[in-house]
Amino acid sequence: MIDRATARDLAAKEALQGLQIDDTQVQELRTGWFFPYRGTDPDPRNHPLGTNGVIVNKQTGARFSLGSAFPVDRDLALYDKGYQFHSYALVVTKIADMEGSLDSLVALEISIVEPTYEHGTVWRIPRPLTRGELRSRLTKLPYVFDGLDLYFQAEALEEARERGFFEFELMGCP
């Protein structure tokens, strides 16, 4: 178990230039320690954009930097629900409502890359999986959707969990 002092040292290593840990605003989560940043320059226009702080996992010491697109409270709540990575393997283990599951998975904007060759170049342009392709993949469970960035779609996945459309596990991808 990582204690607060050790977590603080790990978090400080993650801080971008121009930022430091704000020790007065540290929050203990169920699964981690949240360390918000404050700018070292008194002029906020000179602070780096895109970061609300870092969470250090209590078990592993892994660091997870928060973006700034959403309120901190949203990101902290999702962290404790397992959204602790930048890239995910979504393992669908059980389907209770196929149409609801498909609606949710379409909302996740899961894509596939099928390389093509044209004009002397190999093109790797992602395209979203169709509803039919998703349905086909869900015929044999468990099914793994790999390499997903769920930061902007986590609510759609949580709604699917709450409504009982399907059961799943989230795992981090390297």
- Domain housing 143: 88-172
Residue 78 within a domain: no
Reduce the DSSP state of residue 11 to 3 states and report it: helix
Same domain for 55 and 120, yes or no, is no
Same domain for 93 and 168, yes or no, is yes
Count up the domains in the chain and report the number: 2
Residue 77 within a domain: no
Question: Helix 98-107 vs helix 154-163: angle between axes, to the nearest 10 degrees?
Answer: 170
pLDDT reported for residue 44: 61
Same domain for 32 and 60, yes or no, is yes
Summarised one tens digit per residue, pLDDT across range 111-164 is 999 999 999 999 999 999 999 999 999 999 999 999 999 999 999 999 999 999
Residue 51 within a domain: yes
Residue 79 within a domain: no
Same domain for 94 and 63, yes or no, is no
Same domain for 67 and 94, yes or no, is no
pLDDT reported for residue 174: 83
* Helices marked H in 27-153: 72-80, 98-107, 131-137
CA–CA distance, 169 with 84 (Å, rounded to integer): 12
Summarised one tens digit per residue, pLDDT across range 48-81 is 667 789 999 999 999 999 988 899 999 999 999 9
Task: Single out the residue in 42, 72, 102 at which a domain terminates.
Answer: 72
Residue 31 within a domain: yes
Same domain for 36 and 94, yes or no, is no
Residue 80 within a domain: no
Tokens encoding 17 = 């230039």
Same domain for 92 and 168, yes or no, is yes
pLDDT reported for residue 47: 60
Higher-confidence residue of 85 and 41: namely 85
- The answer, yes or no, to whether residue 98 has pLDDT greater than 80, is yes
Task: Single out the residue in 72, 96, 127 at which a domain terminates.
Answer: 72
Reduce the DSSP state of residue 69 to 3 states and report it: coil
CA–CA distance, 154 with 65 (Å, rounded to integer): 16
- Mean pLDDT to the nearest integer, 78-90: 95
- Cβ atoms 83, 76 nearer than 8 A: no
Residue 145 within a domain: yes
Task: Single out the residue in 72, 105, 124 at which a domain terminates.
Answer: 72
CA–CA distance, 130 with 3 (Å, rounded to integer): 46
